[in-house]
Amino acid sequence: MAARTIPVDSFDLVIFGGTGDLARRKILPGLCRRCLAGQMPEGARIIGAARSEMDDDAYRKMIAEAIEEFDPKVSKDTACMDRFMCSLHYVEIDATGDGGWPDLKELLRKDVIRAFYFSVGPSLFDDLAERLHKHGITQPDDRVVVEKPFGRDLASARELNQDLAKHFDESQIYRIDHYLGKETVQNLMAVRFGNVLFEPLWNSHYVDHIQITVAETVGVGGRGGYYDKSGAMRDMVQNHLMQLLCLIAMEPPNNFDADAVRDEKLKVIRALRPVDYHHLVRGQYEADEDGPSYREDVENPRSHTESFIALRTHIDNWRWAGVPFYMRTGKRLKGRTSTIDVVFKDLGHSIFPGDESRHRNILSIRLQPNEGIDLQVTIKEPGPGGMRLIDVPLDMTFADAVDAEEVDLPDAYERLIMDVIRGNQTLFMRGDEVEAAWAWTDPIIEGWQARGDVPKLYEPGSTGPEDSQMLMHRDGRRWRDIKV
Ligand code: BG6
């Protein structure tokens, strides 16, 4: 089965921060893969813009090396590489001064789709937007793409929104949360809204609780400077886990239009209950033979920033009244997984004598790795000896079901960038959504700061601090295992 290719018009994509880590690691290799998949229209151009002094050839060489390093497979297709390299250009630009802007203006075509990707720190968003405007570069249907972190609290996110709004309409702004570009995250919507089976059960009458786990085995690596100022709450919960929560909990939108979907997500965020500190656990990983401790990684021996967080919240609306939502995420845990578990209620009454175990249906949606869904169902244990019940998984791994070897699945960045070019905002966060997410997050962070809360230490390769297990046990529940 071949992937469906949706043609896009020719475009000019300017990447500010075009020599940076994200551009070299994700954006440009991703675009090169789209080129290989035949989705790059003739005449499409990608313009790297950065401070370094360089010409087109030097930039092409730099990007060819990056693609070789980060996607060796695609770099082996020389015809594709040649074509992709021809589409690359470079402009030396001063984000906070006036140097280079007239060159950029001259290079850009006026009659194609134009997008400006701000792959730079948020402190430069205002400068870039301002200069694009001042030099008469932007046109009403241009698009601007911004990266997370979108602020570090409500006040800074509002400021960023206001800065962008001075020069761009909301319909031109694409705020990336790369989780929304993941194949299976979109599948979450397909599973929920493309099947009649789940909707009648998707509420407090049948669902006991929902767990969202995003576990990583890696530590903070070389990003200590950024991470220590953010922590898991700002880095993961406020955005990625929040988006997963929205997709799992939102009401069915009227259609799949960007605003219909985003309106429903916003309602979920606004209905989130503040988190009580009894329902919050923060942790920091210790050292082991495989690596240094969190504090060593971030070179801050007194850091109180969390590399792990687990919490319980509620969505105060009719559908979810009384249903706890547990979320946890952390670094250097025992396995890498992003999974959502919808745990259904116990049977009200069992007709099978002697069966005292607690059988529960659990729908697990595996976002990564090994994407798929698995439904835990209760069956009779085969063989003689009466009715003994056991729980087994009905497993559907998407790769097996759709012969994924044959399907060319774009990664999150590729998909999102092509959506920018197509003008589809469904998988991007709207300004009010981001602000609402911060409005929920801020009091949690302020709360632990006011209490002088110190994160609990946890062993690398574990499931996080013991208190995270307690968070569940107190409610008579437990976390699903993190698969190694
Ligand atoms: C990023 C975070 O947004 O997401 C990182 O800043 C995290 O800290 C990463 O490691 C996880 O993304 P993925 O796609 O590997 O699950």
Q: pLDDT (tens digit, 9 = 90+) per residue, 217-251? A: 999 988 899 999 999 999 999 999 999 999 999 99
Ligand 1 atom with the shortest distance to the CA of 179: 14
Helix, strand or coil, per DSSP, at residue 76:
coil
Which pLDDT belongs to residue 300?
97
- Stretch 435-459: mean pLDDT: 97
Maximum average pLDDT range among 208-217, 218-227, 406-415? 208-217
Which pLDDT belongs to residue 305?
98
Per-residue pLDDT tens digits for 146-202 = 988 899 999 999 999 999 999 999 999 999 999 999 988 888 999 999 999 999 999
Do residues 333 and 218 make contact, with C-beta atoms less than 8 angstroms apart? no
Categorize the per-residue pLDDT at 307 as very low, low, confident or very high, splitting at 50, 70 and 90. very high
216 CB near ligand 1 (under 6 Å): yes
CA 271, CA 262: separation in Å to the nearest integer? 14
Per-residue pLDDT tens digits for 261-275 = 999 999 999 999 999
Compute φ and ψ for 420, nearest 5 degrees. -60, -45
Where do the domains of the chain lie?
A: 11-147, 180-409+430-473
Categorize the per-residue pLDDT at 6 as very low, low, confident or very high, splitting at 50, 70 and 90. very low
Ligand 1 atom with the shortest distance to the CA of 338: 16
Which pLDDT belongs to residue 405?
63
- Stretch 105-122: mean pLDDT: 94
For residue 151, what is the DSSP state?
Answer: -
The answer to whether domain 180-409+430-473 has CATH 3.30.360.10 is yes
Q: Which of 135, 240, 278, 279 is catalytic?
A: 240
The third-level CATH classification (topology) of the domain covering 11-147 is: Rossmann fold (3.40.50)
CB neighbour list of residue 234: distance below 8 Å, 6 or more residues apart: 149, 152, 441, 445
297 CB near ligand 1 (under 6 Å): no
Distance 240 CA to ligand 1 centre (A): 8
Closest of 143, 120, 134, 97 to residue 48, by C-alpha? 120
Categorize the per-residue pLDDT at 406 as very low, low, confident or very high, splitting at 50, 70 and 90. low
Strand pairing class (143-146; 113-118): parallel
235 CB near ligand 1 (under 6 Å): yes
Whether 23 shows a pLDDT value over 80: the answer reads: yes
Strand pairing class (389-397; 372-380): antiparallel
DSSP labels, 247-297: HHHSPPPSSS-HHHHHHHHHHHHHTBPPPPGGGEEEEEE--BTTB--HHHH
Is 205 among the residues known to form the active site? no
Distance 155 CA to ligand 1 centre (A): 24
> Which two three-digit tokens encode residue 249?
């909990």
Whether 4 shows a pLDDT value over 50: the answer reads: no
Distance 357 CA to ligand 1 centre (A): 38
Handedness of CA 396, 461, 234, 446 (dihedral sign): positive
- Stretch 324-344: mean pLDDT: 97
- Which of 465-476 are b and which e, b meaning 16 or more Cβ less than 10 Å from the residue's Cβ? beebeebbeeee
- Stretch 25-42: mean pLDDT: 89
Please choose from 228, 236, 308 the residue to mutate so as to test ligand 1's pocket, defined by most ligand atoms within 8 A of CB. Answer: 236
Ligand 1 atom with the shortest distance to the CA of 216: 10
Ligand 1 atom with the shortest distance to the CA of 177: 3
208 CB near ligand 1 (under 6 Å): no
* Torsion angle of the four alpha carbons 73, 76, 82, 88, in this order, in degrees rounded to the nearest 10: 30
Distance 228 CA to ligand 1 centre (A): 15
Whether 2 shows a pLDDT value over 50: the answer reads: no
CA 154, CA 269: separation in Å to the nearest integer? 14
